[in-house]
């Protein structure tokens, strides 16, 4: 990193969102448009509100990240994307009912003008939705080439210097890694096959993005870019990639509480988590195949934090259960319950109850903003492949097959800030 050349954040940055008309996307976009007009505060965004200490000793100083780290400014962002429904960002936000009509109308002129391009869609991967605004193609390769053309056209039409692609669409059905996913040549051959079920729509977006030189962010728990063939493509195209699944609500709490148990050497017997959620994501997750993808992501969190192999007496026999229940009356207002059975001195049992009434998209929107800005920064710094320093933002951070991911929020925060310090140092500021 000491010899890094940080390219300046000049010109316009295109932000292409997969799932443009959905709850997370519209909340993210409208909030960003309002914030850059000075009509709302980007609360939850580390890139906009958090301070960073840099330097040592007498030369140490503290400044806002947005003022000292060379990220793009909000007024440089241009929004677009794809969706399986033709609704504008304005119409999508009204339908999602996350934001009030009053707040949506703050930027109604801009939000109405942002309309999705037709999306790639396979009902076998998302069974609970019936896409009406979709591309036609014989093979995943055909669809991928159409997405590449979309990216080029958007970039030209909006005079963008750079583009970032971010997945904020629904969770796809569970897909296990196969031999096809372990080699780029085999994966590309599979993309040319009609009817294949080894290439998910999300993979077409990721492949297209990287082939156009755009970083790709996976905000869902699907396989998407989390396999060797995509890592090889990221290396070949010099593109940053990151994921999986925004760490927004219940899992954020797990990555705070589990490190506390570990630090105090308190035992854990069981952790039962359940949610009720009524938005489009909740509807999709009501399908067992899509829930399986989410379940794997949520269950992966605590083992690496608690190190059960090292501490079998404390964490060697944990019963960990996760449930998500579709409940339409709640819309985007998710309620998460956690029952945590811990034990302490001489094995005596205790319990912790957590009831988190959160707003799913309100928590996810600032994560999306930060990830767009930081992956663009990574690209301008010459970084490529998995961006482990952005693990802070994900439920199930991507990592090499032979590595253990870092899940503790506090360790992730340290990794993240140390990387930003390296970048600041490389700029000579």
Question: pLDDT tens for residues 101-156?
Answer: 999 999 999 999 999 999 999 999 998 888 999 999 999 999 999 999 999 999 99
What is the band of 324 on the pLDDT scale with cuts at 50, 70, 90? confident
Spans of all domains in the chain: 12-246+362-427, 250-359
pLDDT tens digit string along 384-393?
A: 999 999 999 9
Q: Is the pLDDT of residue 1 over 60?
A: no
8 Å CB contact between 342 and 266: yes
For the cut 50, the answer to whether the pLDDT of residue 328 exceeds it is yes
> Which H helix or E strand runs over 356?
strand 349-359
Q: What fold characterizes domain 12-246+362-427?
A: Rossmann fold (3.40.50)
pLDDT score for 294 = 64
Mean pLDDT throughout 232-244? 97
Annotate 101-126 with b (16+ C-beta within 10 A) or e (fewer).
Answer: eebbebbbebbeebbbbbbbbbeebb
Say yes or no to pLDDT of 378 above 70.
Answer: yes
Q: How far apart are CA 156 and CA 214, in angstroms?
A: 14
Confidence of residue 56 (pLDDT cuts 50, 70, 90): confident
Q: Are 183 and 229 in contact (CB under 8 A)?
A: yes
2 has pLDDT over 60: no
d(C-alpha 73, C-alpha 10), whole Å? 10
| Confidence label for 227 from pLDDT (cuts 50, 70 and 90) | very high
The overall average pLDDT reported for the chain is 93
Give the fold, CATH level 3, of 250-359: Dihydrodipicolinate Reductase; domain 2 (3.30.360)
Stretch 314-339: mean pLDDT: 91
Residue 299 pLDDT class (50, 70, 90 cuts):
low
pLDDT tens digits, residue range 194-212? 999 999 999 999 999 999 9
If you average pLDDT over residues 55-78, what whole number do you get? Answer: 94
What whole-number distance in Å separates Cα of residue 232 and Cα of residue 243?
16
Report the pLDDT value the prediction gives residue 297, as an integer from 0 to 100. Answer: 62
Asked which of 69-83, 338-352, 401-415 is least confident by mean pLDDT, the reply is 401-415
Q: Which pLDDT does position 356 carry in this prediction? A: 93
pLDDT above 90: residue 412: yes
Taking the C-alpha atoms of residue 354 and residue 363, their distance in angstroms, rounded to an integer, is 17
Mean pLDDT for 277-285 is: 76
Cβ(342)–Cβ(314) below 8 Å: no
């Amino acid at each position: 990193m000491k010899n890094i050349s940080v390219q300046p954040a000049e010109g316009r940055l295109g932000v292409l969102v997969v799932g443009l008309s959905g709850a997370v996307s519209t909340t993210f976009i409208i909030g960003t448009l309002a914030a850059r007009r000075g009509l709302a505060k980007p609360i939850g965004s580390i890139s906009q509100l958090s301070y960073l200490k840099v330097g040592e000793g007498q030369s140490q100083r503290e400044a806002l990240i947005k003022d000292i780290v060379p990220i793009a400014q909000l007024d440089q962002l241009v929004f677009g994307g794809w969706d399986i429904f033709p609704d504008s960002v304005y119409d999508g936000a009204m339908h999602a009912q996350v934001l009030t009509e009053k707040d949506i109308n703050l930027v109604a002129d801009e939000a109405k003008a942002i309309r999705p391009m037709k999306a790639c869609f396979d009902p076998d991967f998302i069974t609970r939705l019936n896409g009406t605004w979709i591309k036609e193609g014989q093979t995943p390769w055909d669809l991928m080439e159409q997405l590449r053309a979309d990216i080029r056209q958007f970039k030209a039409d909006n005079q963008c210097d750079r583009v970032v692609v971010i997945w904020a669409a629904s969770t796809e059905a569970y897909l296990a890694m196969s031999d096809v996913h372990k080699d780029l040549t085999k994966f590309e051959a599979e993309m040319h096959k009609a009817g294949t079920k080894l290439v998910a729509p999300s993979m077409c977006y990721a492949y297209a993005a990287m082939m156009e030189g755009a970083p790709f962010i996976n905000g869902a728990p699907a396989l998407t870019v989390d396999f060797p063939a995509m890592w090889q493509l990221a290396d070949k195209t010099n593109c940053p990639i990151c994921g999986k699944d925004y760490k927004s609500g219940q899992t954020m709490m797990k990555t705070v509480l589990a490190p506390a148990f570990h630090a105090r050497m308190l035992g854990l017997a069981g952790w039962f988590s359940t949610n009720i959620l009524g938005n489009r994501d909740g509807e999709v997750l009501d399908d067992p195949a899509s829930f399986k993808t989410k379940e794997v992501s949520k269950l992966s969190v605590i083992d690496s934090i608690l190190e059960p192999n090292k501490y079998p007496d404390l964490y060697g026999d944990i019963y960990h259960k996760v449930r998500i229940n579709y409940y339409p009356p709640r819309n985007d207002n998710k309620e998460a319950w956690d029952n945590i059975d811990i034990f302490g001195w001489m094995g005596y049992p205790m319990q912790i109850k957590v009831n988190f009434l959160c707003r799913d998209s309100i928590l996810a929107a600032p994560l999306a903003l930060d990830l767009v800005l930081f992956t663009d920064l990574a690209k301008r710094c010459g970084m490529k492949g998995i961006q482990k320093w952005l693990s802070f933002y994900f439920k199930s951070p991507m990592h090499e097959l032979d590595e253990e991911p870092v899940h503790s929020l506090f360790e992730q925060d340290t990794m993240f800030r140390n990387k930003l310090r390296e970048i600041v140092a490389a700029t000579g500021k």
